[in-house]
Amino acid sequence: MKENKGEELLSLSLGINTITTTTAWCSKKRKGREDFMASDRKFFNLLQIRDQMLRATNTKRYSCGVEDGKNSLQVIHLLLAAAAAAVDTNGGDVNTAVDALGEVYKTVSLKGDPIQRVAVYFADALAARILTPRSPFYQSFMLTPTPEVEFSAFTDLYRASPYYQFAHFTANQAIVEAFEDEEKENGGRLHVIDFDVSYGFQWPSLIQSLSDKATSSKPIALRITGFGRSIQELKETEMRLVHFANCYDNLFLKFEGIFRGDDATGRSIKIEENATVVVNSVFYLRNLRSSTEISDALAVLYSLNPSLVVLVEKEGRQRQGGFLSRFMESLNYSAAMFDSLNECLPADSMERLNIEKNSLGRDIKHAIVNGDEEDEYLNHEVLQETWKERMERIGFEEMKLSSRSVSQARLLLKIKSQYSTTDHGSNGGFRVIARDEGKTISLGWQDRILITASGFTRRHL
């Protein structure tokens, strides 16, 4: 992708001017609110337009010319017009929103430029937001991938992009160093409490790093307490990790999976006595849906008395302000993610389509459809504070991450560039940034920061 094209796609600096233009477009097109029964035909027609787009996808080629830039700007205007109409203060202008979404589907392709591709999922999300789960059309826009397909998409993203690997390797480096600092007192025992263990992809690299430190006469005992979204997923994660750890005779792994539905607060955690205790929070806190959930989670975190809390979160302010401003922020972030995949996978790659449809696209739909504004306190007060401020309020202080963490992150990007499958031959758009006097390390894509890692220790009184 040409440099000026990338800047145009990723800046999306429409701001107030775009919202003003969107409002004017809506005023011109608004015909008055109709009830949902009368709009069924419009949604049926919208699905037909969407199906035509999907069928035509195989005949469209990826390009990045000047004309595509103009089309991208048009798509953004249409999406914002649909979003503005969908959340109109009078209850939503269904006709205007559906008309705008129809124009989006006529303009985009799943093999187009990043804005075209990401727009498909935002259009689906807006259509589903206007409907209700009871509508016969709802599932057409919100088709949920099976757990097997989700796992496949996550695996493809993990292999192709440095996104998750940066988060996991940076966190693991800090964990190893915390273990080393207490090696004389911990008796070779490390207890990691993972608030979102997911598929467990973070932990094989930690197991290997600890094994490199251990000996047959001085083995290391690693206990992982991991929270998961399903019992089956936790069982599969345990099986993978135990199988991997069995390859090392100088490390003993004990995995304890906790289904979040049985213990939403985490108060049943049993701490490994005399071990170095580390809390791992990677992409977890931002998913909490209320100020009460956040407060409860942080209270539990503090009560565990950990030597280290590793915090990795997405950059951005998706939950602040009204729906339109959060929609815009989400569009900016997602456009950067889709654009970054061009450096990792070919435009016609089935892996790229799998990632965008069943991982990134699924997340977009979930965020837009479920992104309500019921908790005004959460949206406008609590999350105006940074996670650093919230951690400091409960008794933690941010620590400086080591130079090894930065070096390892930069080495990761260098290695990923060597295995790039694109014609560009490198992951040149990705970059590692050390900030806040070395207290945070971020992964960026061009001029956008994607995720940031930081570490916290309990404040000494």
Q: Compare 379 and 353 and report the one with higher pLDDT.
A: 353
pLDDT above 70 covers a percentage of the chain that reads 79
- Is 426 a residue whose pLDDT tops 70? no
Count the Cβ atoms, other than its own, within 10 Å of residue 449. 18
How many residues appear in the chain? 461
Residue 204 CA to residue 164 CA, distance in Å, equals: 14
Q: Mean per-residue pLDDT for 106-118?
A: 92
- pLDDT tens digits, 268-298: 788 888 999 999 999 998 888 777 888 888 8
Q: Where are the domains of the chain?
A: 155-317+377-458
- 3-class DSSP state of 451: strand
Q: Compare 262 and 194 and report the one with higher pLDDT.
A: 194
- pLDDT tens digits, 164-183: 999 999 999 999 999 999 99
Q: What is the pLDDT of residue 92?
A: 62
Q: What is the pLDDT of residue 49?
A: 94
Q: What is the pLDDT of residue 108?
A: 93
- CATH architecture of the domain 155-317+377-458 equals 3-Layer(aba) Sandwich (3.40)
What DSSP letter does each residue of 267-284 carry, written as one string? TT--PPTTSEEEEEEES-
Cα–Cα distances in angstroms (integers) from residue 181 to residues 175, 188, 194, 275, 403, in the given order: 10, 11, 20, 12, 16
Residue 341 CA to residue 445 CA, distance in Å, equals: 10
- pLDDT tens digits, 141-171: 998 899 999 999 999 999 999 999 999 999 9
Q: What is the pLDDT of residue 418?
A: 58
- pLDDT tens digits, 2-53: 444 444 443 444 433 444 445 544 554 444 444 445 567 888 999 999 999 9
- Is 460 a residue whose pLDDT tops 60? yes
Q: What is the pLDDT of residue 419?
A: 52
Task: Calculate the CA 307 to chain-centre distance.
Answer: 27
Which range has the top average pLDDT, 1-5, 112-116, 222-226? 222-226
Question: pTM of the entire structure?
Answer: 0.85
Task: Give, to the nearest 10 degrees, the angle between helix 94-107 and helix 15-29.
Answer: 110
Residue 293 CA to residue 283 CA, distance in Å, equals: 15
Residue 410 CA to residue 430 CA, distance in Å, equals: 10
Of the candidates 174, 166, 151, 400, the residue with the CA atom closest to the CA atom of residue 280:
174
Q: Compare 372 and 19 and report the one with higher pLDDT.
A: 372
Residue 289 CA to residue 296 CA, distance in Å, equals: 12
201-205, 354-358, 383-387: lowest mean pLDDT where? 383-387
- Is 384 a residue whose pLDDT tops 50? no
Q: What is the pLDDT of residue 383?
A: 39
Question: What is the pLDDT of the chain when averaged over all its residues?
Answer: 83
What DSSP letter does each residue of 289-354 carry, written as one string? -SHHHHHHHHHHHHHT--SEEEEEEE-S-TTSS-HHHHHHHHHHHHHHHHHHHTTTS-TT-HHHHH
- Is 86 a residue whose pLDDT tops 90? no
284-288, 396-400, 406-410: lowest mean pLDDT where? 284-288
Q: What is the pLDDT of residue 372?
A: 59
Count the Cβ atoms, other than its own, within 10 Å of residue 54. 12
